[in-house]
Amino acid sequence: MKKYLKIIVWGVAIFIVAGCSNQKDSVSKEKVEDTTLYLVRHGKTMFNTTGQVQGWSDTPLTDEGQKVAELLGKGLREEQIQFDHAYSSDLGRAISTANIILKTSDNQKIELNTLSGLREWGYGGYEGRNNADMWTPIFEQYGLTFDEEWSQYPKLMEKMDDEAIANEIAKNDETGTAESYQEIVTRSKKAMDQVIKEASETGGNVLIVSHGSEIPTILEILAPGFYKGEDIGNCSVTKIVYKEGVYTGESIGDTHFLENGNNKD
């Protein structure tokens, strides 16, 4: 009889432990369902100022670029945005921007991870040359005019999507070293797969500092059709929420954090 009682007791104990374990797993899953990605374009650089092509080539943030990055950090702090993970491309301008944001938003304890897959598009032989050298032939084939204000860029986007633009640049590059769209997508997807794998284990807010052409590429990978040619300015915020395997776009090129940060000065 005692033997049978022991078996029953052990069975009940195992059932309770298993039940608690399942309950913990359930609670854990609930906690990590939402992962919010804050995609930020780097601060203004020297090449942004001088109108030169800047992809894999890299120039430092200007004084204005540093100041605006600080404003973004202050704006995030004002809304009490706490980051659980932080990533940037491996280019200096993105790393500098990310570090400024983390410091001024009181997130300096978060480790910054750099990924080459988050780099700007590689423009090959056009790197460092005047923007007009690369863009004028593309604009002109549709009867449009390129200017440094990019005033007719929205009209170009009505004629060409990012894939067509990237492939046209690669075709026109005499050195043959500019990236094709498929090459950009392949390394970008690999990087974002890593980000989501790591960040979704705990969920929360994720800072990702990247670039003006790369961010739309990421958007097309995660939430196809969400990006429709909106301006993504320096230190603007584009927000995507990941939940239960689904990506939902919330905002593109948002500058209200900058405005909030400016109000604190």
User: Percentage of the chain surpassing pLDDT 70?
Assistant: 87
Instruction: Give the confidence band of 263 by pLDDT, cuts at 50, 70, 90.
Output: confident
pLDDT at 261: 81
| pTM for the predicted model, two decimal places | 0.87
Give the other-Cβ count within 10 Å of 154's Cβ.
12
pLDDT at 260: 85
Q: Are 207 and 216 in contact (CB under 8 A)?
A: no
Tell me how many helices (H) and strands (E) the chain has: 10, 6
Distance CA 29, CA 166 (A): 39
Q: What is the pLDDT of residues 75-85, one digit of tens each?
A: 999 999 999 99
Reply yes or no on whether the pLDDT at 138 is more than 60: yes
What's the gap between Cα 18 and its chain centre?
40
